[in-house]
Amino acid sequence: MSALHRITFGGYQGPASVHTRGAEAFAAALSRLTDGRAEVVLRPNITTEGRKAADLLDMVEQGEIDGCYFSSSYMAGRVASLALFDMPFAAPERETLFAKLDGALGDQIAEDVARQTGFAVLGFWDNGLRHVSGPRALNGPGDCAGLSLRTLASEDHQRAFRALGFDPRVIDVKDLATAVEAGEVDAQENPLTNIYNFGLHRAQPEITLTGHLQGVAPVWFHRATVESWPEDLHRAIRAAMAEAGLAQRGFAKADDSGCTDALLADGCRLHSLSADQQAAFRDAVAAENARTRDRIDRAALDLFEQPQEITA
């Protein structure tokens, strides 16, 4: 690798974010692995540039920037296998899920994405275990009735949340904190790291630890650009992304603990669910999860559901 290569990588969160730190880890790893002959130019938070967070996907697919991280849910309408992560109360444990994504399941999804879109997926980041903040503890589906809920732009999510009694509303991340503070929604669902770092807990201090979805953020790249890279650059970028992915997942896991402590220190009340309460939520969304499941290819479902051995 002789020439200097610049890779532009975008995000939508601030410096404390596990994703921003993951992007920084990618930049550092690529510089080290190429002896400085390749560098990552970070645009860590495009919302400060006046863009919507969701613009990132178009920016990458159209080649305006080279890569970004973003929730799989926003692409599940185009790539059905991504809906595996959009069935509430049905996700495997975090370690099991990411072990699958580092193996055949991840390969299958990457192939599906490449075949159906202008993206190449080079990794899978941890988008957090999602919980619900709102005006009260949610001990069962009956407590959700009539509450407006900010959620992601996923029809699968919205169907499931309607089954619980919520009125789901899509709000871009750029506008989320303002909407919550202004009382435009009664509740919202996010990982603890986002609830704390976006300051959502100040308006909604009652947090029910539903753990209803384990979020996945694929690392999306402009496929034509990836295909144009020389082989040595391609190898270096994949190695740097693998290193950054492990670091990012570590940040996400650590933030669950750290943000729990920080939220409690700020006076929030965190409500755990019993096994019976979890089962009631699971039963309430079962029919909608079955609809989601019906549109996913059998091969991807089998890889998602087969037992997975976890290695240290």
| Of 308 and 163, the one with more pLDDT | 163
76 occurs within a structural domain = yes
Closest of 220, 261, 208 to residue 65, by C-alpha: 220
214 occurs within a structural domain = yes
For position 309, what pLDDT does the model report?
61
For position 308, what pLDDT does the model report?
61
The tokens describing 308, both together, are 């997975």
Share of the chain residues as helix, strand and coil, in percent rounded to the nearest 5: 50, 20, 30
Residue 312 has pLDDT above 80, yes or no: no
308 occurs within a structural domain = no
d(CA 194, CA 183): 18
Residue 69 has pLDDT above 70, yes or no: yes
For position 306, what pLDDT does the model report?
84
Residue 201 has pLDDT above 80, yes or no: yes
With H, G, I as helix, E, B as strand and everything else as coil, classify residue 145.
coil
d(CA 255, CA 191): 9
Give 198-235 as a DSSP string: TTGGGT--EEEEEEEEEEEEEEEEEHHHHHHS-HHHHH
Please give the tally of structural domains in the chain. 1
What is Dmax (Cα atoms) for the chain? 63
Q: State which residues form the domain around 187.
A: 5-303
d(CA 13, CA 7): 19
Spatial neighbors of 34 by CB under 8 A, at least 6 apart, are: 1, 5, 233, 236
11 occurs within a structural domain = yes
CATH of the domain at 13: 3.40.190.170
| Of 1 and 167, the one with more pLDDT | 167
With H, G, I as helix, E, B as strand and everything else as coil, classify residue 190.
strand
Q: Which helix (H) or strand (E) holds 293?
A: helix 275-294
pLDDT, tens digit, for every residue of 203-216? 999 999 999 999 99
pLDDT, tens digit, for every residue of 80-134? 999 999 999 988 899 999 999 999 999 999 999 999 999 999 999 999 999 999 9
Give 33-84 as a DSSP string: HTTTSEEEEEE-BGGGGT--TTHHHHHHHTTSSSEEE--GGGGTTT-GGGGG
